[in-house]
Structure 1
Amino acid sequence: MKQLLFTILCTLYVSLPVFSQTGNKIKKQIPFMTEAPKLVVGIVVDQMRYDYLTRFYSQFGEGGFKRLMNDGFQCANNHFNYIPTYTGPGHASVFTGTTPQNHGIISNYWYNKFEKQQVYCAGDPSVAVIGSDSEAEKMSPHRMKTTTFADQNRLHTQMRGKSVGIAIKDRGAILPAGHAANAAYWFRGKEEGNWITTSYYLNKLPKWVSNFNTSRKVDTYLKTWNSLYDLKTYIQSGPDDSPYENGYKGKNKPTFPYDLAKLKDENEGYDIIKYTPYGNSLTADFAIAALKGEDLGTDAITDVLTVSFSSTDYVGHNFGVNSKEIQDTYLRLDKDLGRLLNALDKQVGKGKYTLFLTADHGAVHVPGYLKSQKIPAGYFNADSLKTDIVNFTKQKFGLDNLIEEVDNDQVFFDYDRIATSNIATTTIEDAIAEFLLKKDKINKVFTRSQLESTEYVNGIASLIQNGYHQKRSGDVIFVMDPATIAYPTKGSTHGSGLNYDTHVPLLFYGKGINKGKTYKKTHIIDIAPTISAMLGIAFPSGATGYVLPFVFTIE
C-alpha cells in the first residue's frame, strides 16, 4: 500500500505502446525495474585487495564470496580513479558516485585552512553522543557535500524508504548511509564495548540496539583467536612468524594463537576485537539484528542497508597483506558473509533484495618484504618535511611563515602572509615543486595552478585531480615512489594511486542482476549511478560515474 501511486504510474507507463520515428510499433522499452528490490545492501570490505578473491578462493565456502561471485556479476577490473585511497574518501565515493573533487571528503583527516586546524571527515562538535559518555564520538556526515544514492532513495520514496549504516568505524557507517539516514551505528570499544550513534540521527538508542548491547554479545568474542583451519593449509600467505608484522602488546611474537581476554587490558580494552576477525563477526551479528530491529525490506518500499566490515583494515595494518592473520580473517569473513546472506534470504526473501560488495581501498605489501624480494620499495621520512620546506622558503625568499602546514602529502600556504610579501603565489608554488622533486623518494609534484588550469585525462595526474578539492586541498601536492610509504616498517598501509591500492572487488548479486563477469575497466564511482538507474531514482547530486548496463536486467 505504501507504494500504490508509484506502482500505478509504473503500470501505466509500461502499458503504453512505443513507436519508432516511422510510426511503427516497436518493442516496449522499460527504463527501470517495475518491481524494485525490497532492500539494497551495500557492503564495503575495508582494505580488500582484488586478489584476495583469487588468492583465497580455494578455501572459501559456498555460501559467502563464492555465492556472490558465481551467482552474481563480477567486475574484475574495478579501480578507484583518484588519490588518496583512504577509508573516508573511499566510503564517500562508493555511495555518492563521485570523487573527492566533488564530495569534499579529501582524506580521513585534513588540515582545514579556514579553521586553522586538522579536522576529521565525520567529526561534528555540534552533536551529542547517544549510547556513550565519550566526547570523542561526536559524529555526523555534515562535511560530505553531495548526496548518496541512499539519500536519493529517501527523497524518491518521500522519506518512507529507510537508510541505515553499520560499521565498526564511525566513518564507515556514517558516510555511506547519507545525510538523510534514519540511523548510523558504530562501535565504541575501549572500556565500553557498545554500539552507539549521535543526536544527528536519534535522541536515544532504539530498544533493539539497547537490547543488543545489554546482551553482551561482544564479550563472547574475548576468546582465543586461533586459525580456522590448519596453518599448514594456508599456503597463500607467508610464514606465521614474520619480521614484517606488529602483533599485540603483551605477546612476544605475532603468531597464533592469541588469547584476547588475556591481552585485552594492554590493548585498549574492547578495541582489541577490532583488530581481529571477530570485529567482522560482531558487525555481522549487529547487521542481522538491524534487519529485524529496523524492519528492513519487509514492504514494497525499497530500503537501504550499508554494512562496512572494518576489521580487515585493522588486521591488514597490524600484520600486513601477506600474513597468515589476514588470510584467516578473510576465511572467517567468508563465513560471516554467508550468515548475513542467509539472514537476508530469511527476512527479505531470496531474489527480493539487491546487494553489492566492494572495498574502500586496497593495500601495499610491506615494503621491507618487497625489498627482500628485490622489488623496488621503501620508506619516506615525513617527520622533518615541514621544517625542511619552511627553511627552504625562508632562505629562498627571505621571509618567515609562508608555509602554514604540510599534511596528507600537501603543502598549504599562508595566504595572509603571502599577500603582504609582494611574491606571486605561482612563484612560491614552482619553487617548492622544484625543491620537492629533488627529494629522494618523491616521484611527482603538482601545483594548484597546474590542477586548476589543466584537465588531465589519464595517469597519476588525473587521479590527483579527481581527488583535489579546490577549497579544501593544499597548494602543492607530491607523490612518492611506487611501494614507498610514510609508515612504520611493519604492517601494510594504503593511499596511493597504484594498482595495489586502486584495484578492488566489485560484485553485484540478487534481484535484477545478471550472472557473469567482465574485465572491462570499471570505477568505484560507477556503483551509485548503476544502483540509482536500477531503482529509477535520481542520481546522487554530484555523481560523475557511469551506469554499468551489463550488470543488470530490467524485468
Structure 2
Amino acid sequence: MTMTRRTWLLVPVLAALAACANTSAPSSSTAGAASATPGSTPAVTPFAAAKPPKLIVFMVVDGLPIRQVLGYRDQLQPDGFKRFLDRGAWFANAYYGHGYTVTAAGHSIMLSGAYPERSGIIGNEWRDPMTGAPQYNTADPRYHYIGNKTEPLAGTSPENYKVETVGDVLRTLQPGSKMIGISGKDRGAILPSGHKGTAYMFMGSSGQFASSTYYMDKHPAWVDAFNAGKPADQFFGKTWAPMLPESAYARSVPDGQPWQANSGNGNKLPAVLGAGMDGPGPRFYGNILPSPFGDELTLAFARAAVEGEQLGADDQTDILSVSLSSHDYINHAFGPESRLSHDHFLHLDAYLQDWFKYLDAKVGRDNYVAVLTADHGFTDTPEWAKSQGRDAGRIVPAQAVGFVNAGLARQFGEGRWVIGMSGTGFIFDEPLIQQRGLKQDEVYEAAKALVVQVDGVQTAFTRAQLAGTDTTTPNLAQMRHSWYPGIAAPLQVIPKPGWMFGSRVMGTTHGSPYENDTHVPLLTWGPKWVGQGRIEQRVEIIDLAPTLSAILHVPAPRQAQGKLLPLPAK
C-alpha cells in the first residue's frame, strides 16, 4: 500500500498492550447498570468473560430517527430490525450530544467516541473562517479514486480526522485484523474506517464501488470481479413498488405532495428506475441511492467483502462497517413523515433479514456481534408540520446574511461584514474587521444581536460563549461539542424547533440540537456478549466506542469521551 499516516496516531504497541491488560475487564462501577425491563433487577455486563467475537458488524442507517423504528414496529419482518428489538439489547433513549447533527459529524463520532470539538469533523463541508475557502470533511487532493473520476473536494482520505477509532486501536494491536468500511457516501465509508482501515464508496458516475489511492494502488481481485459484473445495471427498469397494501400506510403522508421533491425517480410509488432513459449511465446510477435499491446494492458489496476478505474467518477479530445511505436521500426529498420513507424503511427491514441470514450461515450465528445506529435523525418537512398546526418554516440563508450585513453596516460602516454561512454558522471578512481597527468579538456580538431577530432563529452563540464555561444556557453545551476553534465559524446560529436553513421550498433536513435530529436507534445483538432487553437509561452514541473496545479487550480510543453502555447481563 502507498499511504501516509499521522504520526500522532501511531500508538506504541507495548504501551497499548499494557493499557489493554488494565482495561479489558471493566469494573461494575464503570460499566454501569441497566434493566432489561422497567423495575427489573439491574445487571452488569461482564465484557471480559467472553472471548472477543470473530466479527463486529457495525451498521449505520443514514438519517433514521428512532421514532420511525418504533412507529412501524408492528409491520417488521421476523428477523430484520426485530432481531435487535426482540432478541437483542437496545437503548430506547440514545442521543447525540452535539448540536450540528449532520452525516460526517455523526459518522466521526460512532467509532471514535469523540465529538467534533476533538475530531475536527464539524460538518459535511464548511468554509475556512479566515479565507472563506470551501473545505470538505474527507477531501485530500493528494489521493484519487481508483478507476473513477475524482471531482474537486471529493472524499479520498481521513486526513482531516484528528482522532483514532476502535478499528485503529485494534489494528495497532492486531495488524492481522481487518477494518473495512462500505457506504454509498465517501464520508460514510472513510470516517468509520479510521486511519488504518480500508474504505469503499459508491461511485455515482459509474455504478461501481471504489477505494482511493490513500488505501492502495489498485483494487484487490474481488473488488474488480464485483464491478466487472455491473451489478448496478440490474436495477435499470426495476420498479420500486410498495411493500404493503395501501391501507397499511395510513399513518404516513401520501405521495405527490407539493413539498416533496419531484425529480430523479419522482415522488410517487410505484416508480421505475431509469424511466425515460436509454440505458444505464451516470444519471441512472445517481438515482439508485435515493431508492431501496441503493441499500440492496451496498449490502451486495458488503457480502462480496465478507467473501473476498474472509472477514470473521479466524480468531483475529475483524470489523465491517456498512453505512446504508438511501434512507437519508429519501428523507431529504420526501420527509420522514412520507409514505415513501415509510415504505423504504420496510424494504430495508427485509434486506436486513436476508443479510443476517447470510451472516449466520457464513460467519456463524454465535461468532459475531451486530450493532445498528444512525448518524442523525430528521426534522419533519416544514410545510407538513405547519399543516399540523406546528410552528415551522424555512430560513433563507442569503436573506439572513443580508439582514445581518445591513445592520452591521449601520453600526460599523459599509462593508460585506458577513461573507456567508459555514455549516450552521456565520463567517466574517476578517481582514475588513482588522482594517477598521475593530475587535473581532465586538463584531460577532453585534451580529448575534441582529441574527436573533430573523424569523425562525432561536439563538446564536459567539466564539466567546463557545470558549467559555457557562453550563446553564440551553443548547450551548451541545454547540460546544460541535465547535472546533479555527475550523468552525465564530458565530453559531440555531434555528427554532421545526425550522431549517434552506432556500428550496421542498424536502427537509437535519442538523439541529433538538429531539427529532438527536434521538436515534442504538441496537445491539450478539447473545454471547450483549444480553437482551430494552434499556431505558439515557445514553449517548459516544458510549459505543468504549463499549466495543471493551468487548474486543482493547483500550478505548484515546480521545473518546463516552463511558461503557449499561448493557443487560447475558
Q: Fold conserved (TM > 0.5)?
A: yes
Cα distance in 1 for residues equivalent to 2:162 and 2:294? 30
CA drift of 1:76 comes to 0.5
Cα distance in 2 for residues equivalent to 1:407 and 1:443? 18
Q: 1:176 to 1:264 in 2, by over 3 A?
A: farther
- What pairs with 1:440-519 in structure 2 (closer than 5 Å)? 440-456=455-471, 459-487=474-502, 488-510=504-526, 511-519=528-536
- The match for 2:322 is 307
Q: 1:410 to 1:328 in 2, by over 3 A?
A: same
- The match for 1:162 is 178
Matched, 1:434 2:449: yes
Q: Are 2:265 and 2:272, in contact at CA under 8 Å, matched by a contact in 1?
A: no
**After TM superposition, where is structure 1 displaced by more than 4 Å over at least 4 residues in a row?**
263-267
Q: Kindly report the root-mean-square deviation, in angstroms, between the aligned alpha carbons of the 2 structures.
A: 2.5
Q: Are 1:33 and 1:536, in contact at CA under 8 Å, matched by a contact in 2?
A: no
- The match for 1:54 is 70
User: Helix, strand or coil: the match of 1:453?
Assistant: coil
TM-superposition CA deviations, 1:12-49 (whole Å, max 9, x none):
999xxx9xxxxxxxxxx976245111111111100101
Which amino acid in structure 2 is aligned with residue 482 of structure 1? P
Say which is worse superposed, 369-378 or 379-388, in terms of deviation: 379-388
Cα distance in 2 for residues equivalent to 1:286 and 1:313? 19
Q: Are 1:530 and 1:549, in contact at CA under 8 Å, matched by a contact in 2?
A: no
Q: 1:141 aligns with which of 158, 161, 165?
A: 158
Q: 1:367 to 1:403 in 2, by over 3 A?
A: closer
Task: Report the TM-score, using the length of structure 1 for normalisation.
Answer: 0.90
Q: 2:98 aligns with which of 53, 66, 82?
A: 82
User: Helix, strand or coil: the match of 2:56?
Assistant: strand
Number of equivalent positions: 528
- Seq. identity, %: 32
CA drift of 1:471 comes to 2.1
- The match for 1:362 is 377
Q: Are 2:207 and 2:282, in contact at CA under 8 Å, matched by a contact in 1?
A: no
Say which is worse superposed, 432-441 or 294-303, in terms of deviation: 432-441
CA drift of 1:310 comes to 0.2
Matched, 1:216 2:233: no
Q: 1:429 to 1:132 in 2, by over 3 A?
A: same
User: Helix, strand or coil: the match of 1:445?
Assistant: strand
CA drift of 1:115 comes to 5.7
Cα distance in 2 for residues equivalent to 1:317 and 1:518? 30
- What pairs with 1:36-435 in structure 2 (closer than 5 Å)? 36-113=52-129, 116-136=132-152, 137=154, 139-157=156-174, 159-181=175-197, 183-190=198-205, 192-222=206-236, 223-249=238-264, 254-263=267-276, 268-398=283-413, 400=415, 402-435=417-450
Cα distance in 2 for residues equivalent to 1:409 and 1:237? 30
CA drift of 1:221 comes to 1.6
Cα distance in 2 for residues equivalent to 1:240 and 1:390? 40
Which amino acid in structure 1 is aligned with residue 466 of structure 2? L
TM-superposition CA deviations, 1:81-127 (whole Å, max 9, x none):
11111000010011110111111110100012356411111111110
Which amino acid in structure 1 is aligned with residue 274 of structure 2? A
Q: 1:239 to 1:420 in 2, by over 3 A?
A: closer
Q: 1:541 to 1:259 in 2, by over 3 A?
A: same
Cα distance in 2 for residues equivalent to 1:406 and 1:261? 36
Q: Are 2:400 and 2:454, in contact at CA under 8 Å, matched by a contact in 1?
A: no
CA drift of 1:236 comes to 2.6
TM-superposition CA deviations, 1:196-238 (whole Å, max 9, x none):
1100011111111111111122112221111122222222312
Q: Are 1:363 and 1:493, in contact at CA under 8 Å, matched by a contact in 2?
A: yes
User: 5+ residue gaps in structure 2?
Assistant: 1-13, 28-44
User: Helix, strand or coil: the match of 1:338?
Assistant: helix
Which amino acid in structure 2 is aligned with residue 260 of structure 1? L
Q: 1:438 to 1:225 in 2, by over 3 A?
A: same
Q: Are 2:46 and 2:569, in contact at CA under 8 Å, matched by a contact in 1?
A: no
Q: 1:138 to 1:97 in 2, by over 3 A?
A: closer
Which amino acid in structure 2 is aligned with residue 305 of structure 1? L
Q: Are 1:131 and 1:194, in contact at CA under 8 Å, matched by a contact in 2?
A: no
